[in-house]
Structure 1
Amino acid sequence: MYIYSSKKQKKTGLWINRKLNSKFGIDIELGAVIGYGLDIPHHMGIVITKKARIGCNLSLKQNTTVGNKQGLKEDDFIIIGNNVDIGANTCIIGSITIG
């Protein structure tokens, strides 16, 4: 949500994340880079790691994980390009590029 942030922005990001998590079960870690146009039409069970680099106009369906596996190197990222549609019950794990 916020990769370059002040303490106030980080605090706001954590507050937003807590609200999303408690109401919808959405967990977007601070440090995830997400372009404009993120669409979550069925907002339940979404997890996005801080190692995600996501382009514009991503559509995520319910129960989707964009996560990292243990042992992922510091410079390894999950890269999702522009205009990607990810269906329900999908797990994207590890250092991978999509789109």
Structure 2
Amino acid sequence: MMDLWNKIRTEATGIWKEPMMAGTVEAFVLDHATFEDALLYLLSYKLQDENTSQLEIMEELEKVAGQYPIIFKYALEDLETSFRRDYAQKRYADVLLFSNGFVAIQSQRFAHWYFNNGKVATAKFIQSSVLKNFGIDIHPGACLGKGLVFDHGTGIVIGETSVIEDGVFMFHNVTLGGTGKGDGDRHPKIGKNVLIGAGATLLGNIHIGEGANIAAGAMVLKDVPEGKTVAGVPAKIVGEAGQVQ
């Protein structure tokens, strides 16, 4: 963890030299000795509003992190995966400083802890703050794996009983929703290393098999087998999925 944080700090020093960037880089990277401290500062800054201060939020997040330290390991895996698989990201520091999808995922992890520990209002506050600031709506009840990438992120909606396993890459305007015909376990389950294209809609308690690809704009209403590509409205199998690198 420390090696990657040192690399991020080195990258940030280069960004610091750009006009207008010194204050941002200092506040979010250079003022912090560890990745953990930087992440807590970043999230509390992004989640604050006119009624709830950054300090109040950071103190609360620190308490959660003390009971749930693996959250930082997951965050680093998300960051590393974003750098490796999103070709627009040229530096690790860019993911930390500028990726709305990364911030949304980390915020939801904290919201999920609150949701599971009976503090539903706090969980909903985090959810609504992320929606207001980034246009990404992830229910705090959803279960997220690690090594996730929400590229661009804008317009993503993820329902309460959704499950997203490790290594999923999701583009903007994706919906993991219910059908509106029942309650309980009603949202999609996404297997490892699935790729979901922009504007895809997946509805109901369906399972998307490991390594599957969902084409942009697809409407998925049924299970998708492992390693297959589906496309269309409604979605149908059109071939084999490419190998995730």
- Give the structure-1-normalised TM-score: 0.84
- State the 4+ residue runs in structure 1 displaced beyond 4 angstroms: none
Q: Does 1:71 align with 2:181?
A: yes
Aligned equivalents of 1:40, 1:77: Cα separation in 2? 18
Question: Percent same amino acid among aligned pairs?
Answer: 35
User: Is residue 72–residue 95 contact of structure 1 (8 Å, CA) maintained in 2?
Assistant: no
Q: How many residues align?
A: 97
Return the letter of the residue paired with 1:89: G
Aligned mate of 1:60, from 167, 170, 183: 170
Q: Does 1:38 align with 2:148?
A: yes
* Match of residue 138 from structure 2: 28
RMSD: 1.8
Q: Pick closer, same or farther for the CA change 1:60–1:67 going to 2, 3 Å.
A: same
Name whichever structure is richer in helix by fraction: 2
Larger relative contact order (Cα-Cα within 8 Å, sequence gap ≥ 6): 1
Name whichever structure is richer in strand by fraction: 1
* Match of residue 116 from structure 2: 4
**5+ residue gaps in structure 2?**
1-107, 210-245
Q: For each residue in 1:24-68, what CA deviation from the matched residue of structure 2 results, as whole angstroms up to 9, or x when unmatched?
A: 211111211111122111120000000201101111101110000
* Larger-Rg structure: 2
Counterpart secondary structure, 2:150: coil
* Match of residue 91 from structure 1: 201
* Match of residue 47 from structure 1: 157
Aligned equivalents of 1:97, 1:78: Cα separation in 2? 6
Aligned equivalents of 1:75, 1:14: Cα separation in 2? 19
- Give the structure-2-normalised TM-score: 0.37
User: Is residue 159–residue 187 contact of structure 2 (8 Å, CA) maintained in 1?
Assistant: no
- Compare 64-73 and 80-89 and name the one that shifted more: 64-73
